[in-house]
Chains A and B, each alone.
Chain A
């Protein structure tokens, strides 16, 4: 079974703190993703990495950075947490598709981290 694990299920941090959310996958996937999910707004992509040390901004990258030093690990960093970053954060991974041929691989999601910034 594919496993995507996230470091914490619940996290409470204070405004201004630096926050690290860790995601690890065990399937040798090239692609890794960070999303946030908010009521009424659905899931939105924050950052995407298609290889080690490679990253691409998603739809809402402001206030976030990422790190991918090893293939299996993708970290989301909140440099200075703010209350509007209170959310459910979901990590996902997949094999790299052959998009030129229309071949897309399914994304596997972790259980999520519910972050509260007070």
Chain B
């Protein structure tokens, strides 16, 4: 199974954009890139997902490299509420719906 790697942590400042990287160098053509985040003392929540094209929603944008070996979650204006652990997860077409959470990346947002 293709795996993802993320930095252990990142810091950003409030109201500035933040780019959260994820490497998935062994990704296959049928792997979808999903992002979840977990706010302190809460269960994870879905953020965004994509396959090849960049995606936008009300929470974030997902930029996927042309070779798909990496992707970047973009928070356009970080707020204190965005401080969380972010997980980059691959789900395979035709495979299981089970999410496999890695260690994720802790984002700290400074006021």
| Contact indicator A100/B93 (Cβ below 8 Å) | yes
| Contact indicator A109/B97 (Cβ below 8 Å) | no
Q: Does A20 contact B (CB under 8 A)?
A: no
Interface of B, secondary structure class, is: loop
State A91–B103 Cα separation when bound (angstroms). Answer: 18
Q: Does B21 contact A (CB under 8 A)?
A: no
| Contact indicator B32/A109 (Cβ below 8 Å) | no
Question: In the complex, which residues 75-107 of chain B have their Cβ closer than 8 Å to any Cβ of chain A?
Answer: 91, 93-104
A: interface residue count bin = 20 to 34
Interface residues of A (CB under 8 A from B): 4, 31, 33, 35, 40, 42-45, 48, 50, 58-59, 90, 92, 94, 96-97, 99-102, 104-112
| Contact indicator A43/B98 (Cβ below 8 Å) | no
| Contact indicator A112/B93 (Cβ below 8 Å) | no
Contact of A109 with B44 at beta-carbon distance under 8 Å, contacts A42-B102, A102-B32 already known: yes
Q: Does B45 contact A (CB under 8 A)?
A: yes
A-B contact count (CB 8 A): 64
Chain A residues in 8 Å Cβ range of B96: 99
| Contact indicator A33/B43 (Cβ below 8 Å) | no
| Contact indicator B98/A45 (Cβ below 8 Å) | yes
A-B residue pairs in contact (CB < 8 Å), sample of 26 = A40-B103, A42-B102, A42-B104, A43-B44, A43-B101, A45-B99, A45-B100, A58-B98, A90-B43, A92-B43, A99-B96, A99-B97, A100-B93, A102-B32, A102-B51, A105-B97, A106-B46, A107-B44, A107-B46, A108-B45, A108-B46, A109-B44, A109-B45, A110-B43, A111-B43, A112-B43
